[in-house]
Amino acid sequence: MKKSCVLAYSGGLDTSVILVWLQEQGYDVHAVYVDLGQPCEDRQAVLEKAHKCGAATAQIIDVREELCRDFAFPVLAWRAKYEGIYLLGTSIARPLISKVCLQVARDVGATAYAHGATGKGNDQCRFQLAAEALDPKIQMIAPWRMPEFRKAFPGRTELIAYCEKNDIPVKASTAKPYSSDENVLHISYEAGKLEYLDVHGVELVDFGMGVSPQQAPDAAEEITIGFESGVPRTLGGQELTALEIVEQLNAIGGRNGVGRIDMVENRFVGMKSRGVYEAPGMTLLYDAHMYVEQLTIDRDLAHLRDRLSPEVAEMVYYGFWYTPKMDALMAFNREAQKPVTGEVTLSLYKGNISVVKRSSPYSLYDAEIATMEGGGSYNQDDAEGFLRIQGLPSRVQGMVRPRAY
């Protein structure tokens, strides 16, 4: 019986080679292009190329709405940013790709799941950890971790030569200055010239989702975003799907130069790497969500969430999506987010985001209590006893172990 596998297929250089190479190893290969809203790719051309290269089956599966609704928005509600800056656009998509590929494997009777991630990066972890959690019996095929594959293809030159020999159409060239990964949430850029830290990454990259702040309009643009229990629901008062919100905010943020970062991050496998990212729509959502949260979540709950948020970001970045710990954390935050309902108006100007106004039916902000003017229900006399109690441990310690000053 011939072996059968599902390949997470992008149509790029690596997976194009892997599709043909796996057939040489005796596999029927079912190519799956998971449509994540990649803004710069020709889906039909990718499908035709898979058929041309001998795929047993090839299909495009659209999960754009699911990506935004069930993966990106729960991470947004956690305010999770890896190492304080990265919005996890690639990381969020990988467990969904694995889920879709395993669904196809089940449908076609394949026992193996192949991907084109390298043995040095994070994606191999995300693909495999997700797949094994969903189907512990699945056989993982990671050609870049196989010595015979690396011996045949030590670099891009050999990959391109293999494509020419086997009549595989690819656009790659040996002179490409970096590689990219894209979906509706963001585009990442890494490798090539970006591996050199004296290269100005934001100037090198030809961004695909927006203009630079310098090229943005000279007038500010305002946008109003509405949330319901921590979930984005409306733009400008109009109710939209999750995908529509992200796409429209990508356009708005993109034309105003919002959402570009350049960082050196710590990969799960242990090394540091440099990446340039753009995520205009998600950047706007993170800011808008923050302003509604500031009104609606009490201090102790907000601070607990803030302590847990880096843990969630780390789990997403590493690939631990389908785990009991993540299930429990997501359940916690669904409860915590219940009052996070309201609207915020942002002003965008040349890459900058400022808040114009915010409101919520569940706002905990009481101007009469907070005012520096007289009146209100706050009795300043109460602060005397409050501070005497708070200062008690310090007074006792100061008498027992006086500090020099």
- Asked if 123 is an active-site residue, the reply is yes
Count of beta carbons in the 10 Å neighbourhood of residue 339? 20
pLDDT of residue 81: 98
pLDDT of residue 104: 98
The active-site residue, picked from 64, 69, 94, 126, is: 94
- Asked if 16 is an active-site residue, the reply is no
pLDDT of residue 402: 95
- Asked if 14 is an active-site residue, the reply is yes
Range(s) of the chain covered by CATH 3.40.50.620: 3-176
pLDDT of residue 378: 86
User: Which architecture characterizes domain 3-176 according to CATH?
Assistant: 3-Layer(aba) Sandwich (3.40)
The active-site residue, picked from 123, 181, 262, 287, is: 123
pLDDT of residue 122: 95
Beta strand ranges found along 236-289 (DSSP E): 238-239, 260-266, 272-278
For residue 356, give the H/E element and its range.
Answer: strand 352-359
Helices and strands, number each (H, E), in the chain = 16, 14
- Asked if 94 is an active-site residue, the reply is yes
pLDDT of residue 369: 83
Q: To 10 degrees, what angle do helices 156-165 and 13-24 make?
A: 60
pLDDT of residue 175: 61
pLDDT of residue 170: 78
pLDDT of residue 173: 59
CATH topology of domain 180-297+339-359: Argininosuccinate synthetase, chain A, domain 2 (3.90.1260)
Low-confidence ranges of the chain (pLDDT < 50): none
Range(s) of the chain covered by CATH 3.90.1260.10: 180-297+339-359
